[in-house]
Amino acid sequence: MARSSEFRDSCARKVLDAADIVRDALLKSAIHSTIAHRIMRERDFYIWEFLRTCMKTNLLSLVGSFLFASFALSSVACPGQTGAQDNPPTQANASAESNIEVENWTKPQPGWLYVLDPKPEAGGPGGRIGLVDPETGKVMGSIRTGDGADFALSPDGSRLYVASVIGGDSGDSEMAVVDTVKGVVLKSGNVGGRAVAEGLLPPFSTMAVSGDGLALRILIDTPASPDKDSFLLAAFDTSAGEFLPGTVHLRNCGPGRFISYQAADHFDVFCPRTNRIRLIQADADSREIRNIDVVLPWERKDGVGEVIAIPGSQDIAIVRGDGGVVTMNVKTHDFGKTAADPGLPNRIPPAAWPTSPEGSRVYLGHRNDYDHHNDSRFYLDYGRSPNIRPTNATADEFRVFDTSTWRKIGTIRTKMPFWSAVIGNDGKMLYAMAPQKHSILVIDTAKMRQVRVLKIGGMPALALVAP
C-alpha cells in the first residue's frame, strides 16, 4: 500500500509539473512561435515522464487531457495555421514546422477520390494525399504529408483529417483539419503516440469519423513495457476542434479496426492481437460507459479479413482470413454459421473491403495460394512488432457475396494485383489500389470486370470517396 501511495503521489507531482508547462506555453506562445516550439519540446518530455510514472496506476484516462493540450497548444503557437481561409490555396497554412501542407487544390466533386500514397517519390521522404478525378484520371489536388500518413473524411465531405509522423525521436504525429472546399488547413497540432503501421503500406486506416460526424477517433499506442503495448482510442470533438478528456482502453488490442461507428457514443472495434470484438459505449467526454469484449471462437492465426455491420440487423458478419464467414449478434454475443466456408490455402487479406451502398453486396479481395505463415509473427507473440499484413500480401481477384445469404454471386479477376479498394457513391464502379503498379484499377460492378487503369504514379495504398 505504501508503494502504491508513493506511485500516486509521484504521479500527481508529474501531472502538476506538466500542467504548469502547458499553461506557461499557452501564455508565451501568443508572444512568439519560436518560444512556443521550444516549450512544446519541454512539454513532450514532461508528458513522457508522466506516462512512464503513471502507466501502472490506472491513470491513462488523463492522456486525453494532454492530447487536448497538445493540439490546442500547436493551434495557438502557430498563428499562420489558423484563420487562414483567405490564404491562396497553394500556400494554405504553410508552416516551416509542419509536414502537412496543401500544395494545390480544386474543389472536389462527388465521386472523386482522396488517395493516400505513402511513398510518392522513390527514396524520398514523406507521403502525399492526391485528389483524383476517376473519370479523367487526372490529379486535381495534392496534400504533402510526413511519413506514416493516415486520413479520415467527415460524412458530409467538408473536412479531411490528415495525420503523419513529425519526425525526430519523439515518434509523435501531427494532425491537420483540412477544409476540402477551399483547400486550406483550418487547424493543426500534435498527437502523441498515434499508432502507425509498421510496413510501408497501411492495410487500413486507424482513424474514423462517426456516422453523425461529431467525433473523430484515433488509435493511440502507449507502451505498457518494452515488450508489451497498450492501446487507447482518443476522441477529437469535430465541432469544438479539441480532443476530449476521456479515452477508451483497448489494452493489448493491436492495430484495431472500426466495425460500426454510426454515432459518437457507440462503436465496435476488432482487436487482432487478442482475437476479440469490443463493443463500446462512451459518454460525451469519451469516458467509457461500456466496454465489453467478446472472444472469437477460432484461433488467432486464422485471422480476420473484414468485419461488416449488416444493415437492419443486430448481427455483424466476420470474414475470417481463410474465407469463412461467421455472424455474431451484438446483443446476445451468439455466433452463427453461414454458407461461406473456409478455403485454405486461399486468403482474404485484412482490409476495409467495400460493400455496395445499400449493403446487399460485399467485394472481398482474395488471393489464391496465399502463404498464411506470413502472419505467424503477428499472431503468435504480443511482444513482437506487429506485421499484420506483409507488403506482398496483395489480392488478385474480388469474390462477390450476397450479404443476406452469404453465397458467392461472382468473381472479378483483375489484370494486376491490388492492395485495397473502395466503391463509388452509386455502386457502379470499384476502384482498386495497385501500389506496385502505380495505378488504380477501375472495375464495372454490373459487368464484373476491369474496364480501365488510371496510371497516377507513386504507390496508391488507400482511398476515400468524396460524398
- State the first-to-last Cα distance of the chain, in angstroms, to the nearest integer: 56
At a CB cut-off of 8 Å and minimum separation 6, what does 322 contact?
A: 302, 303, 342, 343, 344, 346, 347, 348, 372
Answer yes or no: is pLDDT of 66 > 70: no
> SS3 breakdown of the chain: % helix, strand, coil, rounded to 5?
20, 40, 40
What are 394-448's pLDDT values in tens digits? 999 999 999 999 999 999 999 999 999 999 999 999 999 999 999 999 999 999 9
- 63-77 vs 2-29: helix crossing angle, rounded to 10: 20
Please count the CA atoms within 13 angstroms of the CA of 364 that sit on its side-chain side.
33
Quick one: pLDDT at residue 71? Answer: 60
* C-alpha grid cell, residue 208: 474514423
CA 99/CA 118 separation, integer angstroms: 13
CA 449/CA 82 separation, integer angstroms: 46
CA 72/CA 241 separation, integer angstroms: 9
CA 71/CA 259 separation, integer angstroms: 27
Name the 3-class secondary structure at 365: strand
What are 260-274's pLDDT values in tens digits? 888 999 999 999 888
Quick one: pLDDT at residue 105? Answer: 98
CA-CA distances (angstroms) from residue 73 to 119, 194, 220?
30, 17, 19
Number of H-type helices and E-type strands within the chain:
4, 28
CA 55/CA 5 separation, integer angstroms: 14
Cis peptide before 345 (omega within 30 of 0): yes
What are 108-140's pLDDT values in tens digits? 999 999 999 999 988 788 999 999 999 999 999
CA 225/CA 172 separation, integer angstroms: 18
Across 389-414, b (16+ Cβ under 10 Å) vs e yields: bbeebbbbbbbbbebeebeeeeebeb
CA 137/CA 454 separation, integer angstroms: 5
Quick one: pLDDT at residue 222? Answer: 86
Instruction: Identify each DSSP E strand in 352-427 by its residue range.
Output: 361-366, 395-402, 408-418, 420-423
Name the 3-class secondary structure at 171: coil
Pair 148, 166: CB distance under 8 Å: no
What pTM, to 2 d.p., does this model score?
0.81
Answer yes or no: is pLDDT of 81 > 90: no
